[in-house]
């Protein structure tokens, strides 16, 4: 169901305590949501379990509370969302938008040119029809993604050219940030994303 009003969120990765940059991002998105009478939701992005530091999520929650940044409802924990991510991958697979990839980082580094956020996957496995315990990549369409940013105005990106097909599930079975963030922003009914400028390069992929 489409949400009636503004719904913002803060989505920290508990790989360490809340650092100053994250606190600024949290404050910005909290102020934006509250100034519009909107909801502000919290999501703990602990999907990449090897990166999670024990105790960091609790420390982040306490730091937010200590700064008066109160959230609505219960935090959503990505480590408990495996079923939703698997269902999203099944949908994409059914629509032939996913393919298995057996390339190592080294294979890719040897053939790829650099894009806006690291090497652009050269499409080596795109037509190989591989099966098994592989990484799963999204088949990115050749089209320009445009979105409005309140600071920068209209931002555009040709994801196929500037990022290439990107991984949604790693060979070790971990769902990636790029998948989880989209499934969860949809599930939480998020209408506005206010976050660090370092994530601007991710937005076109997520759209």
Binding mask 43-82 for ligand GLU (x = CB under 6 A): --x-------------------------------------
Q: Is 182 left (phi over 0), alpha (psi -120 to 50) or beta?
A: alpha
Stretch that binds ligand GLU, among 10-18, 50-58, 64-72, 158-166 (CB under 6 A): 10-18
Site for ligand GLU in 165-184 (CB under 6 A): 181
SS3 state of residue 27: helix
Residue 9 forms beta bridges with which residues?
41
Among 59, 199, 200, 201, binds ligand GLU (CB under 6 A): 199
Phi and psi at 33, nearest 5°, equal -65, -50
When the beta carbons of 112 and 191 are compared against ligand GLU, the nearer one is 191
SS3 state of residue 175: strand
Among 7, 8, 12, 137, binds ligand GLU (CB under 6 A): 12
When the beta carbons of 45 and 165 are compared against ligand GLU, the nearer one is 45
- Contact at 8 Å (CB) between 135 and 167? yes
When the beta carbons of 122 and 189 are compared against ligand GLU, the nearer one is 189
Q: How many residues does the chain have?
A: 207
Query: Residue 171 has which token pair?
Result: 């060979």
195 touches ligand GLU (CB under 6 A) = yes
Query: Residue 168 has which token pair?
Result: 């949604």
CB of 160 to ligand GLU, least distance (A): 22
Stretch that binds ligand GLU, among 11-19, 60-68, 93-101, 152-160 (CB under 6 A): 11-19
Query: Which of these, 162, 134, 186, lies nearest to 2 by C-alpha position?
Result: 186
The CA R_g of the chain, rounded to the nearest whole Å, is 18
CB of 33 to ligand GLU, least distance (A): 14
Query: Which of these, 24, 19, 2, 4, lies nearest to 195 by C-alpha position?
Result: 24
Stretch that binds ligand GLU, among 5-13, 57-65, 120-128, 130-138 (CB under 6 A): 5-13
Task: Give me the residues that bind ligand GLU (CB under 6 A), please.
Answer: 11-13, 45, 181, 195, 199
């Amino acid at each position: 169901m489409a949400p009636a009003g503004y719904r913002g969120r803060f989505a920290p990765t508990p790989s360490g305590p809340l650092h100053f940059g994250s606190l600024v991002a949290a404050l910005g998105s909290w102020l934006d949501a509250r100034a519009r009478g909107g909801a502000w939701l919290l999501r703990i992005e602990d999907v990449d379990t090897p990166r999670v530091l024990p105790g960091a999520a609790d420390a982040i929650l306490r730091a937010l509370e200590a700064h008066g940044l109160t959230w609505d409802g219960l935090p959503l924990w990505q480590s408990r969302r495996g079923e939703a991510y698997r269902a999203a991958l099944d949908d994409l697979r059914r629509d032939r938008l996913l393919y298995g990839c057996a390339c190592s980082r080294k294979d890719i580094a040897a053939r790829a040119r650099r894009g806006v956020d690291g090497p652009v996957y050269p499409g080596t496995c795109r037509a190989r029809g591989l099966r098994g315990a592989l990484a799963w990549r999204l088949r990115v369409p050749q089209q320009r993604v445009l979105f409005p940013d309140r600071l920068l105005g209209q931002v555009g990106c040709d994801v196929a050219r500037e990022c290439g097909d990107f991984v949604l599930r790693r060979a070790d079975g971990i769902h990636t940030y790029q998948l989880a963030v989209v499934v969860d922003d949809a599930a939480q009914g998020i209408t506005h994303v206010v976050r660090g400028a370092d994530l601007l390069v991710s937005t076109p992929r997520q759209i």
